[in-house]
A and B are shown apart, each in its own frame.
Chain A
C-alpha cells in the first residue's frame, strides 16, 4: 500500500497540477498521458509491496516446512494415534464383555441359592416350632443336603468375580495410551497455532470458535469442559421435564 508521504510528493503534486491545467485547456491526450504516468507510479509501488509480502510468506512457509516434526505428525503420529484409540475401543469392549459374561453367569447362581435358602429357612422355622411331620422332616434333610451340594456353585461365582477383577486391567493400558494421544493433540495444537500466526488469519473468538455444528450431537458431558445449556444429572432432567408439565 502506498504511504501518504509516498503519494504526496512534490513531483506528484506537479503532475496533478499539470493534469488539471491540461484538462482545463482541453488537451485530452496530454491529460491521458499524465493519468497513465500516475497509474504506473501507483502500480509499481503495489508490485513492490506484493513482492515483499510474497517473499515473506514464502520464507515463513519454507521455515515451517523445514521443521520436520509436522510431517512426522501428519504421516506417522496421527495415524498411529488413530490405531491406538481403536485399540482402546477394542480393549474396553473386551473388558465390558468379559465382565458382563461373568456377571450374567453369576446372577442365576446367586438367585437360585437365594431362593433355596429362603425356602429352607421357612421349613427350618417350622421344624424349630415342631410343626413338621416326619415325612416333611425327611424332605427337609434331603433339601438341606442338596442345598449344600448347590453351594459348590459359589466356587463358580468366585471364579467369575476374579474374572471381573482381571478384566479391569484395561484401565492401566488404555490410560497410558490415552495419555500419549493427549500429548500428541497438544503438539498438534501448538503447530496449528504456529500456522495460524504465519498466515495471519484472525484468531477466532474463543467462545465462538468452539461452537460446532448444531445438528451434531454432543454426547456425554465431560467434567471440566464447558457445556452450554446442558443439565448435570438425572435430577436436573427430571426438574426440567416437570417444569414442562411432565
Chain B
C-alpha cells in the first residue's frame, strides 16, 4: 500500500475521527484530512484529489450512504472510482446490501480493531492493484 496516499475520514464524532486517524497513522498513513458529514466531505473530495474515503453512515446533514452514492455518480472519473471504506455501527443486513449495491469497497462495523482496519485496507488495495 502506498502510505503517501491522501485519505479523507468522515465521521460526525470527533473522537471517532481521531481514533481512525491515529490507527491510520500507526499503519503509516500520515496524509489524512477530516470532515464531519457528507455535506462538508463532498466539496473536499471534489477539489482535494483523495485516494481513499473512509466514512461513517449515520451523520447529520448528509449521510454516508448518500455521500457514497454522490461520489459514484460524480462526473469526474477519478472521484467516481475512489475506493470507499464504510466504518459504521449500522448492522442491518439490508443496509450492508444497500452499501454493497451502491459500490462500497469495504464495510467495517463498530466497534472494530486496528487489525480489522488493516485487513480491509489491504484487501481493498489488493483488489484495485
Contact = CB atoms under 8 A, between A and B. Distances in A.
Check if A and B associate: yes
A231 B109 contact: yes
Contact of B91 (A93, A97, A227): A227
B109 A100 contact: no
B89 interface: yes
21 contacts: A100-B15, A103-B22, A104-B18, A104-B22, A107-B22, A107-B25, A107-B26, A217-B58, A217-B63, A218-B91, A220-B110, A221-B91, A227-B92, A229-B94, A231-B93, A233-B109, A234-B109, A234-B116, A237-B107, A240-B97, A241-B100
Interface string A77-109: 000000000000000010011001001100100
A198 B89 CA distance: 40
B121 interface: no
A215 to B, nearest CB: 11
B58 A232 contact: no
A227 B109 CA distance: 15
A224 to B, nearest CB: 15
Given A97-B15, A107-B22, A229 B92 contact: yes
Given A100-B19, A104-B22, A230 B97 contact: no
A219 interface: yes
Interface in B1-52: 14-15, 18-19, 22, 25-26
A234 B97 contact: no
A218 B92 contact: yes
Given A104-B22, A217-B58, A231 B15 contact: no
Chain B interface residue count: which class? 20 to 34
Interface of B: 14-15, 18-19, 22, 25-26, 57-58, 63, 89-97, 100, 107-110, 112, 116
Interface of A: 93, 96-97, 100, 103-104, 107, 217-221, 227, 229-234, 237, 240-241, 244, 246
A165 to B, nearest CB: 18
A231 B93 CA distance: 6
A219 B58 contact: yes
A233 B108 CA distance: 9
B37 to A, nearest CB: 14
Given A217-B57, A244-B97, A244-B100, A237 B90 contact: no
Contacts of A232: 91
